[in-house]
């Protein structure tokens, strides 16, 4: 058995093991906004190591296609609007970086099978050659391709790892801040309507700005993956 086959088998085995553990312990079914307070109690119960538990949780969620929105909001609820952003960003950056490296070096054949025949990915791959980091910026801001699958798919393209990490970090940040603020508003503003409205207003403005950026970029630089 050659090294390439060993890497593929190992990657598949790890994915299966973690998926089974998530199912056995019932973690996957709780990753939902309506259950976010239950998860908060679980994370908070770890005391001073709670940030590490959360970051690890975020990384696992990113690697195993768990919904990112409730996990990001959870950071604001557990850690507040400031530290929540820090921990969510750390978890997100490590998670997307590991997914990229897995696709490029450990399980390329497996990831290729996931995107095989996907026209959106084919367009992204072509655009990376033409636009470079700009298409990564665009797809981070526009949900035209599933976020968690994006992380693996970019490992198949020619984009450099350091470019991928830096651009992803920058353009994931506005959305991360916005969603953490929503969670933070529920905690920091508890009992104070004015403070709650301030946090929610800030989140709303950020979400609106993020939604407008892609339109501006398409108009100014003609960045798109449409035919």
State what percent of residues in the chain have pLDDT above 70.
63
Residue 47 lies in a domain: yes
Which of 86-90, 99-103, 158-162, 204-208 is least confident?
204-208
Chain centroid to Cα 165, Å, comes to 12
- Would you say 72 and 179 are in contact if contact means Cβ atoms under 8 Å apart? yes
What is the rounded end-to-end Cα distance, in angstroms, of the chain? 42
Whether pLDDT at 29 is above 60: no
CB-CB neighbours of 178 under 10 Å: 22
User: How is residue 93 written in tokens?
Assistant: 């950056």
For 17-26, the pLDDT digits (tens) are 545 554 554 5
Written in H, E and C, the secondary structure of the chain is CCHHHHHHHHHHHHHHHHHHHHHHCCCHHHCCHHHHHHHHHHHHCCHHHHHHHHHHHHHHHHHCCCCHHHHHHHHHHHHHHHHHHHHHHHHHHHHHHHHHHHHHHHCHHHHHHHHCCCHHHHHHHHHHHHHCHHHHHHHHHCCCCCHHHHHHHHHHCCCCHHHHHHHHHHHHHHHHHHHHHHHHHHHHCCCCHHHHHHHHHHHHHHHHHHHHHHHHHHHHHCCCCCC
C-beta separation of 69 from 32 below 8 A: no
**How high is the pLDDT of residue 96?**
94
Residue 227 lies in a domain: no
Is the per-residue pLDDT at 45 higher than 70? yes
Please give the pLDDT value at position 99. Answer: 93
Q: Rounded to whole angstroms, how far apart are CA atoms 131 and 44?
A: 43
On whether residue 26 sits in a domain, the answer given is yes
Residue 227 has pLDDT above 50, yes or no: no
Query: What is the per-residue pLDDT across 47-84, written as a single tens digit (0 to 9) for each?
Result: 889 899 899 989 988 888 887 888 888 888 888 888 99
Mean pLDDT of the chain: 75
Q: What is the pTM of this model?
A: 0.73
Confidence of residue 36 (pLDDT cuts 50, 70, 90): low
Please determine, for residue 115, whether its predicted confidence score (pLDDT) is greater than 60: yes
Question: Is 77:184 a contact under the CB 8 Å cutoff?
Answer: yes
Is residue 226 in some structural domain? no
Number of separate domains in the chain: 1
Lowest mean pLDDT among 24-33, 34-43, 106-115: 24-33
| pLDDT value at 8 more than 50 | no
In this model, does residue 189 exceed pLDDT 70? Answer: no
Which domain does 81 fall in, by range?
3-221
- Write down the pLDDT at residue 25: 47
Q: Quickly tell me which residue has 């700005």 as its tokens.
A: 209
Residue 83 exposed, middle or buried by CB count within 10 Å (0-12, 13-18, 19+): middle
Lowest mean per-residue pLDDT among 109-118, 123-132, 189-198: 189-198
Q: For the ranges 63-67, 170-174, 196-200, which has the lowest average pLDDT? A: 196-200
Please report whether residue 35 resides in a domain.
yes
Q: Give the confidence band of 119 by pLDDT, cuts at 50, 70, 90.
A: confident
What tokens does 94 get? 């490590």
């Amino acid at each position: 058995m050659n090294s390439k086959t060993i890497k593929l088998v190992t990657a598949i085995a790890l994915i299966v093991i973690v998926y089974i553990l998530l199912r056995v312990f019932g973690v996957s079914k709780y990753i939902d906004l309506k259950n976010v307070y239950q998860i908060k109690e679980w994370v908070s119960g770890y005391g001073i190591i709670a940030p590490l538990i959360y970051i690890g949780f975020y990384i696992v969620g990113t690697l195993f296609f768990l919904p990112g929105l409730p996990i990001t909001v959870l950071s604001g609820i557990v850690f507040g609007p400031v530290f929540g952003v820090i921990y969510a960003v750390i978890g997100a950056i490590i998670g997307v970086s590991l997914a990229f490296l897995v696709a490029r070096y450990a399980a390329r054949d497996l990831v290729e099978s996931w995107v095989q025949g996907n026209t959106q990915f084919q367009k992204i791959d072509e655009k990376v050659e033409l636009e470079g980091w700009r298409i990564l910026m665009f797809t981070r801001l526009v949900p035209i391709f599933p976020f968690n699958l994006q992380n693996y798919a970019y490992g198949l393209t020619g984009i450099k790892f350091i470019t991928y990490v830096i651009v992803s970090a920058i353009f994931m940040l506005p959305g991360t801040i916005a969603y953490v603020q929503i969670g933070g508003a529920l905690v920091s503003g508890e009992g104070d309507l004015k403070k709650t409205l301030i946090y929610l207003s800030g989140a709303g403005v950020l979400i609106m700005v993020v939604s407008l950026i892609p339109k501006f970029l398409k108009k100014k630089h003609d960045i798109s993956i449409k035919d």
